[in-house]
């Protein structure tokens, strides 16, 4: 099978995942479609560099999230990630009595997605990178140009906001 044919099969298989990742990072459908297409274009051009022992998803997801973060930066939408008052460590509260896993379990997929989409970019992007792409704190820190601890703070804040959002939704909608 030629490289081109093999790539076409990989494309069929992984396009939805790449598209979903890009959508979670960029939020817009148009942007995600372009980004997914661009990701596969880059992957195709560099297909010879791909090492088959590495999962294809890891490789292509790495291209996708790099591209999306570049895209966010180019659109000047990338917020200042320097720690601010809200992110200060001494403002961190103790863990919530109702944990996020219980709140997620109590909601349907649509509400969880809406809550994640509603997060500010500076919280949503590390969250997606950490829990979907499964990047380590050090990798996220290097990618976003911040410290490892700051990644942790952003993730904690993201979870706090998610909790608050899901709790509100859960109270408003008993289902």
Residue 26: helix, strand or coil by DSSP? helix
Does residue number 95 form part of the binding site for other proteins (CB under 8 A)?
yes
Q: How many CB atoms lie within 10 A of CB 36?
A: 26
Asked whether the beta carbons of 162 and 116 are under 8 A apart, the reply is yes
Torsional class of 173: left (φ above 0), alpha (ψ -120 to 50), beta (otherwise): beta
Does residue number 50 form part of the binding site for other proteins (CB under 8 A)?
no
One of 99, 120, 142, 164 touching other proteins (CB under 8 A): 99
Q: How many CB atoms lie within 10 A of CB 149?
A: 12
Six token digits for residue 97: 């009595």
Query: Which residues have CB under 8 Å from 104's CB, separation 6+?
Result: 112, 166
Does residue number 89 form part of the binding site for other proteins (CB under 8 A)?
yes
Q: Which residue lies nearer to other proteins by CB, 38 or 121?
A: 38
Asked whether the beta carbons of 36 and 22 are under 8 A apart, the reply is yes
Q: Which residue lies nearer to other proteins by CB, 41 or 168?
A: 41
Binders of other proteins among residues 108 to 137 (CB under 8 A) are 109, 112-113, 116, 127-128, 130-132, 134, 136-137
- In angstroms, give the least distance from the CB of 30 to other proteins: 6
Binding site for other proteins (CB under 8 A): 4-5, 7-9, 11-13, 15-17, 19-21, 24, 29-30, 32-34, 36-38, 40-41, 44-45, 71, 74, 89, 92-95, 99-101, 104-105, 109, 112-113, 116, 127-128, 130-132, 134, 136-138, 148-149, 152-153, 155-156, 159
């Amino acid at each position: 099978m030629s490289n081109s044919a093999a790539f076409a099969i990989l494309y069929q298989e992984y396009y939805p995942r790449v598209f979903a990742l890009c959508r979670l990072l960029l939020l817009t459908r148009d942007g995600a479609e372009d980004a997914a297409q661009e990701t596969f274009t880059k992957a195709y051009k560099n297909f010879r560099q791909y090492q088959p022992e590495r999962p294809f998803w890891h490789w292509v997801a790495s291209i996708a999230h790099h591209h999306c973060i570049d895209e966010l930066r180019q659109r000047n939408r990338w917020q200042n990630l320097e720690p601010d008052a809200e992110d200060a460590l001494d403002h961190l509260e103790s863990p919530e009595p109702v944990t996020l896993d219980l709140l997620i379990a109590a909601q349907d997929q649509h509400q969880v997605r809406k809550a994640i989409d509603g997060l500010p970019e500076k919280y949503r992007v590390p969250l997606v990178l950490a829990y979907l792409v499964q990047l380590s704190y050090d990798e996220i820190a290097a990618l976003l140009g911040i410290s490892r601890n700051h990644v942790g703070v952003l993730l904690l804040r993201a979870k706090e906001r998610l909790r608050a959002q899901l709790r509100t939704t859960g109270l408003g909608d008993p289902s």
